[in-house]
Amino acid sequence: MPLHRKKIFRIPSPAPTTIYVRPGYNRVLAEEFEALKLKRVDLVKDKVEAHSQGDLRENFGFKAAKDAIRAVDRKMTALDRFVARNAFIEVDPVTWLTKPTDTLQLGHVATIEKLDVLTKRRHRFTFLVTTHGETANDPESGIECLPHNSPLATAVLGLTVDAPTTVTLPAGEAMVTVRSIRNPTMAELDRLLTEIKPPEIEDD
């Protein structure tokens, strides 16, 4: 049986992964899906109402409702696939306050130096390695959130202090060195960990 062109050139789905999230994340995912379902019901009502208004060839309300339903369907499908592909493990940030700091792990604050191999540019960052989807930064301390499943975090997790390691990042090859590892303070967590929100999901 011949393969369809669409299947031949479609980018393969990401492999299943384990994603660490804060308590309540699974509830937020479920609430987001339910909100999309309710939105779709309202859009279908709008579509039916617009359909009753006459000639569909010039019925912009009907077309707008139809397009909006398709957009919601795509988002629901993408969210459903996101949940189906991954296992979500909830972790309490309070446990990060007293973790051993021999190697860089989820919940640590780390200062990292990155030397770009091609450009020879050197960068220095201080990150809180945190759960999925965190993007906040703390102007008071200069700490940024680095999600544990981001390319840089994936490259540096498990490293020890002052052990240069060559890694391949989206921007190219780099030499990364962890300069310090410590536990966060409660005040830092309060400033950095914001309200849990559903993920930004791209349509497949």
Model pLDDT for residues 95-144, shown as the tens digit of each residue:
999 999 999 999 999 999 999 998 889 999 999 999 998 999 998 889 99
- Give whole-number Cα distances, 190 to 23, 26, 90, 98, 138, in Å: 15, 21, 18, 16, 10
Element (H, E) at 116: strand 109-116
| pLDDT above 80 for 4 | no
**pTM score:** 0.78
C-alpha to C-alpha distance for 103 and 181, rounded to whole angstroms:
8
Q: CB atoms < 10 A from the CB of 19, how many?
A: 19
The reported pLDDT for the residue numbered 185 is 95
Residue 1's pLDDT band (cuts 50, 70, 90): very low
